[in-house]
């Protein structure tokens, strides 16, 4: 299990480093990211959310209870639809808060898979939103960056209070969930 990084943290303002080649170290890191994401009951995770300054995201919507994980190395949005939709977003790195964010409803993404092969996928709806949210993390952007300073500051204050009243749980061998 990897440790979740909580805001505020300078890593969320850094652009993650591209990966030259997908090797066993990257495959192991990706596996650990998937395990951590599942333990946190999250649908997506960017590498910097676990303190890794590399361009990796993992996504698993578990549609109809079926796990279909995606690991995307050096993901890049190469096309976006003009149709913009609003949706409430949250993040395990920003516990206790959420905000309505506008994003394109459909995207096309290029990335490397775990076999170091280039891939391109089309995503729409919630799947597209999760991918965009996680790719943003790799570019030093978090979902609250889309808000006004006043709204952002209000949410960060709310998050600080939430963390004080609900300290983050560290998953481990004795964890019951």
Residue 172 in this model has a pLDDT that exceeds 70: no
Rounded to an integer, the average pLDDT of 110-133 is 97
Residues with Cβ < 8 Å from 50, sequence gap 6 or more? 2, 3, 4, 5, 32, 33, 36
Asked if the structure places residue 172 within a domain, the reply is no
Q: Catalytic positions, please? A: 134
Report which DSSP code applies to 8.
S
The closest alpha carbon to 47, from 22, 19, 16, belongs to: 16
- The residues, ordered by sequence, that sit 6+ positions from 73 with a Cβ below 8 Å of its Cβ are 19, 22, 26, 30, 55, 56, 111, 112, 113, 114
Q: Is the pLDDT of residue 32 over 70?
A: yes
pLDDT, average across residues 148-165: 93
Amino acid 24: pLDDT: 97
How many structural domains is the chain composed of? 1
pLDDT tops 70 at residue 36: yes
Q: Is residue 170 part of a domain?
A: no
Mean of pLDDT over the chain: 93
The percentage of the chain sitting over the pLDDT mark of 90, rounded to a whole number, equals: 86
| Structural contact between residues 16 and 55, judged by C-beta atoms closer than 8 angstroms | yes
**What pTM, to 2 d.p., does this model score?**
0.92
Give the domain CATH number at 100: 3.90.45.10
Specify if 113 maps to a domain.
Answer: yes
What is the band of 154 on the pLDDT scale with cuts at 50, 70, 90? very high
Is 136 inside any structural domain? yes
169 band by pLDDT with thresholds 50, 70 and 90: low
Q: Is there a domain that residue 161 lies in? A: yes
The reply to whether 5 falls in a domain is no
Percent of the chain with pLDDT over 70: 95
- Let me know if residue 1 belongs to a domain: no
> Is position 29 within any domain?
yes
Q: Which domain holds residue 116?
A: 10-165
């Amino acid at each position: 299990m990897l440790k979740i990084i909580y805001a505020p943290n300078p890593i969320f303002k850094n652009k993650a480093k591209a990966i030259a080649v997908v090797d066993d170290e990257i495959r192991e890191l990706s596996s650990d990211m998937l395990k951590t994401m599942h333990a946190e009951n999250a649908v997506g995770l960017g590498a910097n959310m676990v303190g890794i300054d590399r361009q990796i995201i993992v996504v698993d919507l578990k549609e109809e209870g079926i796990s279909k994980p995606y690991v995307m190395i050096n993901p890049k949005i190469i096309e976006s639809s003009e149709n913009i939709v609003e949706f409430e977003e949250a993040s395990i790195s920003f516990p206790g808060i959420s905000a309505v964010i506008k994003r394109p409803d459909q995207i096309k993404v290029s990335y490397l898979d775990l076999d170091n092969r280039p891939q391109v996928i089309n995503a729409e709806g919630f799947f597209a939103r999760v991918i965009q949210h996680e790719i943003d993390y790799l570019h030093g952007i978090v979902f609250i960056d889309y808000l006004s300073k006043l709204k952002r500051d209000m949410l960060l204050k709310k998050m600080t209070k939430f963390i004080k009243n609900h300290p983050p749980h560290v998953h481990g061998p004795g964890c019951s969930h």
